[in-house]
Amino acid sequence: MDHKPDQKVVTRFAPSPTGFLHIGGVRTALFAYLYARKHNGTFILRIEDTDKSREVAGSIAHIQESLKWLGISWDFGPDNPGKFNSCLQSDRLDIYKKYAEKLIEKGLAYPDPYTEEETEAFRQDAINSKKPFLYRNHRPTTEGKWDGTKPLRFKVPKIKRYEWYDQVRGTLSAGEEMLDDFILIKTDGYPTYNFAHIVDDLEMGVTHVMRGQEFISSQPKFLSLYDALEIPYPIFATLPPIMGTDGKKKLSKRDGAKDLLEYRDEGYLPETMRNFLALIGWNPGGDRELFSTEELIANFSLEKIQKSGGAFNEEKLRWMNKEYLRLQNSDFLKNYLSDSLPDKLKSLPQYNDDKLNKLITVVFERVHNKSEIKESAEAGEFDFAFVKPEFETNLMKYKNDQSVKDALVRLQMASELLAEADFSSAESIKKSLWGYAEEVGKGELLWPLRTALSGKERSPDPFVIAYVIGREETLSRIKTACDKIAP
Ligand code: GLU
C-alpha cells in the first residue's frame, strides 16, 4: 500500500526559481502529478524562492508556462493559492518564524554567535586534527536572544543513527556524522530550504514527497527536524536520476538536460513529452510504450518506479513524436507544417491550402519534429511543391542512357498516361504508370520523370510530387522538360 487508505493524497512540486525548467525537474513534477491524479488527490505547485541570490527573474512565470504547456495542472499554485494564501515561500515568512519560535521555546534553536573568522578558525582546527567540521561541536554555552542579526541554528536534539523507509529504495540509513546544527533562518530573514520545505509540507498537508536523489544525504537532518517539531514523516519516494541515451552518464545539456520549452519549439507535442518522461524510471510492466495520459494516471504506482537511473533515449523520443503526430487531425498538421516552413516558401503565389493538405500526407510519413521539416525545407526538399524547377537538361539523363534524348519518348508516354490517370493519391498515380515503368525499366522512366518534376538530384518520388502539384502542373512541367530536351 502506498499510503493509508483514509488519507487524501497531497503531492507537490517545489522548484526553486533559479532558471528554466529542465527535464529532470519536469519528470519530478509529472510523477507527483500522476500520483495525485491517480488517487483523486491534490497537486500543489510551490515556489521555493528563499535564496534570493540565486533567483532568476522571470523563472516563476517560465515554470508555470512550461507545466501548462505540458498539461500538468495544479490545484494550488502561485496563481491560485486558495487556502494557503500564497504558494511562494517568500510570502510565507511569518509561518516559518512561528515554527522557529516553537523550536526556540523548546530550547532547540539558537542564534549562531560566531563571526566568520571564528567559524573559519573552528574549520581549520577540524582540518588540522583530521576530524569533520561540525557546528554541533561548537554550540555556545550561553544562548543570547535571537534578534535576526545572527543566523538561527537548529540544535539537533538526538545525535543518533537514522533509519527510514523510502518507497522506491526501501530501508535506508545514515550515521550520526550526517547530523549537524543547520541554519533555520538566515540573517536576511529568509528560511533555508532544509527548514522551509518541512514547515510547508506540514502546513500544506503533503503526504508524499517525491524528489531527486541529491536530497538523500540530507535526510537525517530532515528527520531530526520532524522529530523536534513532533510531526509525522510524510512518505518519501526518491526518484531515479535521468541518464543520457547510453544509460550511463548523467543527462548532460547536450543530450536532453535542456529547457522543456525547447522541446516544444522543436515541435515535440505535449502528449509525447508526457508519455516519454513518464517512462523514464517508471514502467507499468510489459513492452508497451504508448500510453495516453488517462492510462498513465490509471497505471501509475510508486512500486513500479525503478531505483537505478533511467535513460533519456533521444531516438525513442523522436519515434514517439512521430507516432503522436500521426494521430493529429489535418488542420493541426497543416499549421504544424506551415509553422516550420520558411517565409520564402510561404510568400510564393503557389503556396496555398490545397498544397499544404496534400503535402501533409507525405511529410508526416517520415518526419519526427519541426526541426527536421525546417532542415528539409532549407535543403530545398519542398521547393517542388511551390516553384517550377530550373535545371540543366542533362540532369534528366539516366545512367544507362546514351543521351538525355533517350528519355524523350518515355516522358511523352508518361504524359499521355498521366493525362488519364487518377490523381486522388500518390498511390493511384503510381498505378497508372507502373505497367509502363516495368516495360521500359523503372529507373529509365522514374529518373527522368522525377528530375523533370523536381529539378533536383534528390527529392520525393515522382508520384508524390505529381500528387502534390496536381495534374495540370505535372503535365506542364513534363512539357517544359520535353521542350528543353528537343527545342
Ligand atoms: N526546491 C527544491 C529543488 O529545487 C525542492 C526539493 C524538494 O522537492 O523537496 O530541488
pLDDT tens profile 365-383? 889 999 999 999 998 889 9
> Measuring CA to CA, which residue among 314, 378, 383 is closest to residue 340?
378
Question: How close is the Cα of 62 to the center of ligand 1, in Å?
Answer: 17
Q: pLDDT band at residue 3, thresholds of 50, 70 and 90?
A: low
Q: Among 93, 22, 20, which Cα is nearest to 56's? A: 20
> Could you tell me the pLDDT band of residue 389, with boundaries at 50, 70 and 90?
very high
Ligand 1 atom nearest the C-alpha of 15 is 4
User: pLDDT for 289-329, tens place per residue?
Assistant: 999 999 999 999 999 999 999 999 999 999 999 999 999 99
**Helix %, strand %, coil % for the chain, to 5?**
50, 10, 40
pTM attached to this predicted model: 0.91
Q: What percent of the chain lies above the pLDDT cut of 90?
A: 90
Which tens digit of pLDDT belongs to each residue from 104-127?
Answer: 999 999 999 999 999 999 999 999
User: Does pLDDT of 256 surpass 90?
Assistant: no
Cβ–Cβ under 8 Å, residues 233 and 162? no
> At 248, is the pLDDT very low, low, confident or very high (cuts 50, 70, 90)?
confident
- Cβ atoms of 465 and 459 within 8 Å: the answer is yes
The domain defined by 10-86+242-314 folds into: Rossmann fold (3.40.50)
Per-residue pLDDT at 143: 74
At which residue does the C-alpha cell 529539378 appear? Answer: 455
Q: What pLDDT score does 254 carry?
A: 58
Are 235 and 2 spatial neighbours (Cβ–Cβ below 8 Å)? Answer: yes
For 393-485, CATH number out of 1.10.10.350, 1.10.287.70, 1.10.1840.10, 2.60.120.380 equals 1.10.10.350
Start and end residues for every CATH 3.40.50.620 domain found in the chain: 10-86+242-314, 92-239
Ligand 1 geometric centre to CA of 119 (Å): 28
CB 277 within 8 A of CB 27: yes
Mean pLDDT (the chain, rounded) = 94
In the chain, which segments carry CATH 1.10.10.350?
393-485
Q: Which residues line ligand 1 (CB under 6 A)?
A: 14-16, 48, 193, 197, 211
* Spatial contact of 373 and 340, defined as CB atoms under 8 Å apart: yes
- Cα 276 to the center of its chain, rounded Å: 8
User: For residue 342, what is the DSSP state?
Assistant: -
Ligand 1 atom at shortest distance from the alpha carbon of 197: 9
pLDDT in tens, 440-467: 999 999 999 999 999 999 888 999 999 9
Q: Which residues are catalytic?
A: 253
Taking the centre of ligand 1 as the mean of its atom positions, its distance from the CA of residue 220, in whole angstroms, is: 16
Closest ligand 1 atom, residue 13 Cα: 8
Quick check: 1 pLDDT over 60?
Answer: no
Pick the CATH number of 92-239 from 3.40.50.620, 3.40.640.10, 3.40.50.720, 1.25.40.10: 3.40.50.620
The residue whose CB lies within 8 Å of the most ligand 1 atoms, and thus the one to mutate among 211, 217, 223, is: 211
